Structure 1
Amino acid sequence: MPFINSLIASIIAFLSFLIPFSSSSSSSSSSSSSATTTTNSIPQKNYDVFLSFGGEDTRYNFTDHLYQALLKRGNRTFRDDKLKRGEEIGSELFKVIERSRFSVIVFSKNYADSRWCLNELVKIMECRKEMGQIVLSIFYHVGPSHVRKQTGSFGEAFKNYKEDTKEKKEMVQRWRGALTEAANLSGEHVKDDG
C-alpha cells in the first residue's frame, strides 16, 4: 500500500501542476473567441479529470483511492459509477470525456473485457488527437506490452470479439489501435508485487 499511496501522490502532483495552466489557457481562448462561436469550437471543460477503468478490477481499491485523492485536492473528477455490464456507451458520456481536461486510464487485467471501456478509450484517444487532451496511462497489475500488443488477458478478451461483419471488424481495429496508442504513452506501472 505505501507504493500505491506514493503513486497516487505523484499522479496528484502531476495533474495539480498542469491543471492551473490548462484552466487559464482554456478560459482565455474561450473568452477571446466568444463573439464567433462555431459548432467546431472547443467544448467548455466541466471536469479536470476523467477516470477510465474496469470496474471489477479497481473500482473499490486503486481507482477509488485515486478518485478520493483527486477530489480532496479540489480536482473536478468524473468516474462513471452507473455503468452496468453489457450496456452501450451513451453520447452523454462521450460529452463528459470531451469536456474533461485530462483523462487517466487505469488499465487492469479485465479492462479489455469491457466494450464500454474500449469505446471510452477510443473517444479519449480521439480527444487527445483532436483537442489536445492530456492522457495518463496507469498499468495496474498488467504489463504495458500486454496492452500494446493485446497479449495475455488482453489477447484473451479479444478472442471473444467477433469480427463477422465489416462494422464489427472496424470496431475491433479501432479498439486495438487505441490500446496500442495509449500503451505507447508515458505512464505508470503498478506491478503485482508493488
Structure 2
Amino acid sequence: MALPSSSSINSQAKYDVFLSFRGEDTRDNFTSHLYAALCRKQIKTFIDYDGLKRGDEISPVLLKAIEESKISIIILSKDYADSKWCLDELAKIIECKNMNGQMVIPIFYHVNPSDVRKQTGSFENAFVIHEKCFKELKEKIQRWKDALTEASNLSGWDSMMIRPDSKLVEETVKDVLKKLNYRSPSSHWKDLVGIDSHIEKVVSLLCIGSLDFRVGLNEKKSYKEVNNMEEKAVTV
C-alpha cells in the first residue's frame, strides 16, 4: 500500500510535535526544557500534563494527538519501559510512522541505545515484570518490544554524546525545524527565481511613494482609473 504524500500528512496534522516521555524520569527537567524551547520557536507541541491521572488504558485523546502530529519525539529514559502507557504510545507512534509516514525522532536520554534495541539492562527488567503481570497479553508485549527495536534503529540523539542538556535541546529543536522545513517569509522571497522584476512592475504601477501618485490622488482621479491600476498590479 502506497504511503500518503508528505503534503497530505501535513494537511491533516493538528500538531507539529508529539512528545512521548516517562514523567517520573524527565517531566520536570529535560522534557520541560525541550517543550519550552519548541514553544519559543512557535512549534505547536502536544505534551501530556495528565500522565499521572491515566486509567488502565491509554487515553483516546493521546492516540488521536499522535495521529494528528507531524513528528513524534520519543524520550527514551531509564524507566520508560516501566510504563505500559509509554509503551502503548510508542507502539502507536511506530504504527503511524509505518502507515502514514510520520517522522520520528528518538532521544536516548541517559540510556544505552543497545539496551533499548535488545531490551537489556533496565529495559529487560521492565519486561520481566510486564510478562509476569500481563501473561495474557503476549502479543501486545511483543508489539512493545518490536516498537522499541524499531525506534532504536532510527536516526536520533544520544545524551551521552551531546552534553549538556541545553546543547541536546538546541540540537533537537534544530532537527525538528529542519524536518518541518520552517523558513522565514524573507527566505521565501529570496529563493523565488525572477521575483525582482515582478516586484518592480508592481511598484511602478502603484507608483508607491512617488510625487505623481500623490498629486494624482489630490486631483481626485476617478475611482475607475485607480481601480484599473490596482487590477494591473494584481495580474502581474
TM tier, smaller: 0.7 to 0.9
Q: Which residue of 2 aligns with 1:51?
A: 19
Aligned-partner Cα distance in 2 for 1:192–1:58: 18
CA distance in 2, matches of 1:26, 1:72: 26
Once the two structures are superposed, the pairs formed by residues 11-90 of structure 1 within 5 Å of their partners are 25-26=7-8, 44-84=12-52, 87=55, 88-90=57-59
* Higher RCO (CA < 8 A, seq sep 6+): 1
Q: Which amino acid aligns with 2:101?
A: G
Separation in 2, partners of 1:76, 1:193? 25
Equivalences, count:
155
Q: Could you say which structure has the higher strand fraction? A: 1
User: Which ranges of structure 2 fall in alignment gaps of 5 or more residues?
Assistant: 1-5, 164-236
**Structure 2 SS opposite 1:160:** helix
Deviations 1:32-83 (A, max 9, x none): xxxxxxxxxxxx2110000000001111111111100000000000010101
Moved over 4 A (4+): none
Q: Secondary structure of 1:84's partner?
A: helix
User: C-alpha distance in 2, partners of 1:46/1:56?
Assistant: 27
Q: Alignment identity in percent?
A: 56
- CA shift, 1:91, in A, is 1.5
TM-score, normalised with respect to structure 1: 0.75
* TM-score, structure 2 normalization: 0.62
CA change 1:64–1:179 in 2 (3 A) is same
Higher helix fraction: Structure 1 or Structure 2? 2
Q: Please, what is the CA RMSD of the aligned residues?
A: 1.9
Aligned to 2:158: 189
Any idea what SS the aligned residue of 2:52 has? coil
> Deviation digits for residues 134-179 of structure 1, max 9, x if unmatched?
00000000010000000011001111013522xx100100000000
CA contact (8 A) 1:86 1:115 kept: no
Code of the residue aligned with 2:8 in structure 1: it is S
Is the 1:50–1:104 Cα contact (8 Å) retained in structure 2?
yes
Give, in angstroms, the shift of residue 123 of structure 1.
0.1
Distance across 1 between alignment mates of 2:146 and 2:157 = 20
Q: Paired residue for 1:130?
A: 99
Local SS of the residue matching 1:51: strand
Aligned to 2:224: none
Larger radius of gyration: 2
Give SS of 1:109's match.
coil
Shift of 1:84: 1.7
What displacement does 1:26 show? 3.4
